[in-house]
Amino acid sequence: MALEDKILQAISGDHVTAVATVSDGHPAVRFMALTGMDDFTLIGATVKSSRKVQQIIKNSEVALSIWSGKSFSDPYVVIQSKAEIHDDLETKTKYWDPKLEPYFQKPENPNYVVLKFVPQKIEYYYEMTMEIWER
């Protein structure tokens, strides 16, 4: 199987993802629900005033990691990415999901923003081996 296909199997759909930003020169990690897309981008929703948004404004370089958590032998990925913050209604509507209603009620909520992570490098790990994809 081609590396791109293996990566897509690991990141496609909804995942709890570890997202690391930089805060005052130090790493800051939190878990986010992200959706993996066919072009390797990952999309998530967050509160506009969150610390991660402020950190991304200062430094758009982030690291992500996705692992199923089901079995130690499952593949996982570590991603070096650029983060984008989208506050426009068109993008917020495009990525709106009814699962977001308890948090944001509707796409027009000014506190709701879309985070888009555009991978620059993906390390794919499986059975003690690593393969690297780069944009």
State the CATH number of the domain containing residue 67: 2.30.110.10
Report pLDDT for 84.
98
Q: If you write DSSP's letter for every residue of 60-106 in order, what string do you get?
A: -EEEEEEE-SS-TTS-EEEEEEEEEEE-SHHHHHHT--GGGHHHHSS
Q: What is the CA radius of gyration of the chain?
A: 15
Q: Cα separations (Å) of 97 from 44, 58, 79, 84, 114?
A: 10, 28, 24, 19, 11
Report pLDDT for 70.
81
Mode of pairing for the β-strands spanning 129-134 and 112-126: antiparallel
Report pLDDT for 69.
78
Q: Cα separations (Å) of 48 from 2, 76, 104, 133?
A: 38, 29, 11, 31
Taking the C-alpha atoms of residue 19 and residue 97, their distance in angstroms, rounded to an integer, is 21
pLDDT tens digits in sequence order for the chain, 135 residues long: 899 999 999 999 999 999 999 998 999 999 999 999 999 999 999 999 999 999 999 999 999 999 987 888 899 999 999 999 999 999 999 999 999 999 999 999 999 999 999 999 999 999 999 999 999
Domain count, the chain: 1
Domain extent at residue 31: 3-134
Q: If you write DSSP's letter for every residue of 10-68 in order, what string do you get?
A: HHBEEEEEEEEEEETTEEEEEEEEEEE-TTS-EEEEEETTSHHHHHHHH--EEEEEEE-
